[in-house]
Amino acid sequence: MWLLKSYSSLELLQELYVAYEYAKRGARLALVARREDRLQAVADRARKLGSPEVVVVHADVSKVEECKQFVDEIVNYFGRLDHLVNNAGVVQIRLFEVFTQFSDIASVMDINFWGSVYSTHYAVPHLRKSKGKIVVIASTAAWLGAPGLSFYNASKVALISFFETLRTEFGQDIGITILSPGKIESEITQGEFFLQAQANWIPTETTEGCAKAILDSTCSGDMYLTEPSWMKAGFWVKTLCPEVFEWCFHSLFVNWPWTSKKD
């Protein structure tokens, strides 16, 4: 049984295609999100694509008691848990100096980091029994230091470090695949920020293609997945030429979009 959970519109889009990909492979699915009604349509299509059984559960992953509740509910229903997909996340695109109320961004860490921690904590005993797997949705923006995403990046870097540590603790008992997606088609990548940054030249990976890569990598037992794969070049450019890399990022995502607004 595969458990996938979502929070924002971006993650809901990703979960939608990941769920469909699991369904095509005959998996029984549990879909978890705050907006249960929006997942019903996903559940219906997943059944048509081949999933023999799909359940939808309403829960807020930023609340520890609800994470325990939905894991218990799903395991009691299916009798086992094979994969946990930590896909819940929110993002705020804003330069650090623009923030005035830090309470506005508290939810970023609550959902992106703690939501995955809580869910994983209660899922671990069941994943040990099944020799299961955990899928972690991080971001290439985190290790590239993309401007305007300071708190989002921090939450994703925390995720990477946390699950790398769990990997050493679990050993071979539970597989952990950490995904770092790049520019995946979504409302965010088609939004005002990317248009103002003149970032349309950056190739966009389809959500469907990303979902297929996630499952292929997870089932193969890969430790890491960067999708699209060419995004790995950014890591090496940043490592070998950090000054040039940061100057380009500053010019592309800070000077152009924000100065154009002032003008």
CATH number of the domain residue 217 falls in: 3.40.50.720
* pLDDT band at residue 13 using 50, 70 and 90 as cut-offs: low
Give pLDDT, residue 3. 66
The structure tokens 């209660």 sit at 122
**What per-residue confidence (pLDDT) applies to 262?**
39
How far apart CA 115 and CA 6 sit, in angstroms, is 10
The active-site residue, picked from 7, 20, 122, 152, is: 152
Mean pLDDT across 1-9: 56
**Which pLDDT does position 94 carry in this prediction?**
81
* Domain range for 31: 2-185+206-240
* Inside any domain, residue 201: no
Closest to 57 (Cα-Cα) out of 110, 111, 15, 17: 15
Domain assignment present for residue 247? The answer is no
| Residue 52 phi, psi (nearest 5) | -70, -20
Structural domain contains residue 150: yes
Q: Is residue 46 part of a domain?
A: yes
Tokens standing for residue 81 = 């848990």
Using DSSP, state whether 178 is helix, strand or coil.
strand
- Under the banding of pLDDT at 50, 70 and 90, the label for residue 227 is confident
Summarize pLDDT for 127-183 with one digit per residue, the tens: 999 999 999 999 888 878 888 888 999 999 999 999 999 999 999 999 999 999 877
- pLDDT at position 16 over 70: yes
Tens of pLDDT, residue by residue over 46-97, are 999 999 999 999 999 999 999 999 999 999 999 999 999 998 888 878 888 8
Taking each continuous run of H as one helix and of E as one strand, the counts in the chain are 12, 7
Give the model's pLDDT for residue 95: 82
Residue 148, pLDDT score: 82
- pLDDT > 70? residue 7: no
Most confidently predicted of 38-47, 159-168, 234-243, 249-258: 159-168
Torsion, Cα 164 84 174 152, to 10 degrees, reads 0
Q: Is the pLDDT of residue 190 over 80?
A: no
Least confident of 23-27, 109-113, 197-201: 197-201
Quick one: pLDDT at residue 248? 77
Domain assignment present for residue 154? The answer is yes
The more confidently predicted of residues 248 and 195 is 248
Q: How many domains does the chain have?
A: 1
**Does the active-site annotation cover 152?**
yes
Mean pLDDT for 243-250 is: 77
Binning pLDDT at 50, 70 and 90, where does residue 232 land? confident
Which pairs from 161-167 meet CB under 8 Å and 24+ separation?
Answer: 162/113, 162/116, 162/117, 163/116, 163/134, 163/136, 166/120, 166/134, 167/223
Cross-strand partners of 136: 86, 178
Q: For residue 151, is it within any domain?
A: yes
Q: Could you tell me if 179 and 225 are in contact, meaning their C-beta atoms sit under 8 angstroms apart?
A: yes
Mean per-residue pLDDT of the chain = 83
Name the β-bridge partners of 29. Answer: 2, 54
Q: Is residue 249 part of a domain?
A: no
- Residues 110, 112, 115, 117, CA torsion sign: negative
State residue 208's pLDDT score. Answer: 87
- Is 132 contained in some domain? yes
Whole-angstrom distance, CA of residue 165 vs CA of residue 157: 12
> What pLDDT, on a 0 to 100 scale, did the predictor assign at position 20?
93
- Give the model's pLDDT for residue 240: 83
Predicted pLDDT at 14: 62
